[in-house]
Structure 1
C-alpha cells in the first residue's frame, strides 16, 4: 500500500509537497483504516481544486516516477528515450529549471508476511539521475536500513550481494535508475520495488487519446472466458441493467497485424420479445464506455492490492455512479486486498462527511506566481486558527471558499456588445 508520495520541482509544483495516505488520529470511519506493520493506511485520496490549479500534475508526477522506474534501464543505450523522459521542472523562475526534480514514496508490498515498509526515491535533471536511494524497515524496527544509496560522488550498494554489486557497477549509466537496472539483472530486492510500480494502474480521462485507447482495452480473459464476461455484466448491472450479454466476433486482421481484433456488441433485451438487440459497444453512452474502460484497472488493482490513480474520475459519470465506484474501495468486505484509489475530481457531491474522512480529502491551489500547493482538509486551519470539524458541510464550505482551492471568477465580459 502507498503510505506517502513526495515530489518537488515538477511542473507547477516548485517546493516539495506530500500526498499522505497514512491515517491521522481522527475518529470517523475507523473501520476502513488498514494496519500494516506500524502503519495505519487509508484506501482513498480525493484531490480537489480549480481548473489549471495543478491537480493533474499530482497524477502526472506519480505517473512520471512510475514510468522512469519501469523503463529507465533502456535510457543509457538509447539516448533518445531519455530525451523524451527528461523531467519538466518548475519553469517560472530562473533557478528551478536548472535544478533536479525529486520523487519519493513510502509503501508496503501486498501479501508481504514480514510487513516491511520501504522508502524509495530519486532525483533527476536534464542530464540524468543525480541521487537515488532505497531503504527498508522491519515491522519491529523504528529505523530504516539502507539497501543502497547513490549520490553524485557516492555509490553504496552494501545491501546487495557482492556479485550483484559488481554487475550494477559495470552496467550503470547516468540516465538509468539502479532499481530499473537491478530488476533487469534479476536482483530480487530491485525486482520487488519495480514490480510494485508495475502493478499500479493509471487512467487519465482528461486526455482524449487515453479515453479512446482505454475504451477499447478488454478485461483479462474477456474474449474466451464466459465467467469474466458475466462479471462485467454484473458490474454493469450495478448502474445499468439493460445490457444482458455480449457478442464477441473476431474480425479479419489488417496490415499483417499479429494482434487479434474483435467486434464487441452489447446485447439489450427487446421489450416485447425474447430476442436481443445488438448494439456495437462503441455506440453505447459515454458513461457506459467510461465504466467499461475503468473495469480492467479496477479488476487488476482489487486482485493485486495495488493503487489506481485516476485523473478526472467524475467526467461523464453521474455523481451516484462515482460514489458507487468509491464504495468499492471504501468497503473492507469488498476491498479485501487493500487496493487504493487516488483521484482528481470537480464532483463536490462526494465532498461529504458521510462518505470521506477529512484526511482523505485534499486540495490543490495555485498562487499568483504560478506555484501549486497541496494540502489536506485534516490539516487545514481556518482564519480563526481552528481545525475543520467532522460535522461540517464540506461541500457547502468548499464552494463558499472556506478551504481555498476554488476558481477566482470574473464576469465573461468579452461577449458584452457595447
Structure 2
C-alpha cells in the first residue's frame, strides 16, 4: 500500500509536495483504516482544486515516477529516449529549470506478512540521475536501514544491501540515466524486482485526456472475449448503475493481414419492451458514461485483485455523482476491498465532499498562487482564520464552495463579452448611418 508520495520541482510544484495516506489520529470511519506492520494506512485520497491549479500534475508526477522505474534501464543504450523523458521542472523562475526534480514513496508490498515497509526515491536533472536510494524497515524497527544509496559520483555508491555478484553486475552496467531499481530488476535481483513490480501493479486513468478515453474504452477486461463468465461479471457490474444491458455478443473480426492484435466486434444486448427478443447495439454507440464505466472495469478488477493503487484524473468526468460515490464505496468497503487496494483521484465533484463519506485526512486541496506555484494540503491539517482545525461535523461541501478552505477559482464577470457586444452594436449603428446617408 502507498503510505506517502512526495515530489519537488515538477511542473507547477516548485517546492516539495506530499500526499500522505497514513491515517491521522481521528475517530471517524476508523474501521476503514488498514494496519500493516506499524503503519495505519487509508484506502483513498480525494484531491480538489480549481481549473489549472495543479491537480493533474500530482497524477503526472506519480505516473512519471512509475514510468521511469519501469523503463529507465533502456535509457543508457538510447540517450534519445531519455531526452524525450526528462522531467518538466518548474519554469517560472530563474533557478528551477536547471535544478533537479525529486520523487519519493513510502509503501508496503501486497501480500507481505512480515509487515515490512520501504522508502524509495530518486532525483533527476536534465543530464540523468543525481541521487537514488532504497531503505527498508522491519515491523518492529524504529528506523529505516539502507539497502542501497547512490550519489552523484562513483564514490557515493553504497550497494551493501545486495549480494556481491549483484553489486558487481550493477557497477558494470549502471549508467547516468538509468535507475538502480530498473537495472536491478532487469538483472533479476530480487529486491529490485519487488520494488519495480510494485510500481508496475499500479493503474492510471486520465479521463481528462480524450486520447486516453478513446484507448481505455476499447480495452477489454481480462478473459472477456472468450469467457462467458467474465462477460456476466461485467453485466453484473453494469447492473449496479444501469440494468438495461442484459448481455454481450462478442464476435472475432476476421484477420485483415495488417494488425497483429486480435480484434472483436462487441454488441450490448438490451431487452425489447414488447417481446422476449434482444436488441443489439454496438458497444461504441452506448452513452459516454457507460463507455467510461466499461473502461474502468479492467483496471478496477486488476487493482482489487492485486491490492495496488488506482490513480484517476477527473474521475467525475461524464459520470453522475451517485455513480462516482458508488465507485468510491468499492474501495471504502473492507468486505469488498479485501486486498487493500487504494483509490487516489482528482475531481470537481463536491457531492463526495461529505463528512458522511470521507475522513478529513482523505480530503486534499491544491491551490495555485499568483506566482504560478501550486501547493497541496489536507483538510486534516487545515487551520481556519481563527486558528482552529476543521471539525468532523462541519459541512465540507458548503464551506469549500464559499471559499473557507481555499482551492477554488477566483471568478470575475465576463466583461469581455459585454465590451465585444457594445463594439458590435456601435459598428452596426455606424453602418446604418452610412447607408442612410
What is the TM-score of this pair, normalised by structure 1? 0.99
What corresponds to 1:190 in structure 2? 192
- Correspondence 1:356-367 to 2 at 5 A: 356-367=358-369
What corresponds to 2:9 in structure 1? 9
What corresponds to 1:265 in structure 2? 267
What corresponds to 1:336 in structure 2? 338
Deviations 1:215-252 (A, max 9, x none): 00000010111111111000000000000000001112
Instruction: Identify the range of structure 1 (323-332 vs 246-255) with the bigger mean alpha-carbon deviation.
Output: 246-255
Structure-2 separation of matches of 1:256 and 1:202: 29
What corresponds to 1:100 in structure 2? 100
Unmatched 5+ stretches in structure 1: none
- Correspondence 1:17-416 to 2 at 5 A: 17-153=17-153, 154-416=156-418
Structure-2 separation of matches of 1:203 and 1:255: 31
SS in 1 for 2:31: helix
Deviations 1:371-414 (A, max 9, x none): 00000000000000000000000000000000000000001111
Over aligned residues, Cα RMSD in angstroms?
0.6
Structure-2 separation of matches of 1:259 and 1:314: 31
Structure-2 separation of matches of 1:216 and 1:274: 29
SS in 1 for 2:177: coil
Deviations 1:36-74 (A, max 9, x none): 000000000000000000000000000000000000000
1:255, distance to aligned residue in structure 2 (A): 4.9
Aligned residues: 418
Name the structure where helix makes up a greater proportion of residues: 2
Q: Which protein has the larger Cα radius of gyration, Structure 1 or Structure 2?
A: 2
SS in 2 for 1:378: helix
Deviations 1:6-29 (A, max 9, x none): 000000000001000000001000
Unmatched 5+ stretches in structure 2: 423-437
* Moved beyond 4 Å, runs of 4+: none
1:364, distance to aligned residue in structure 2 (A): 0.1
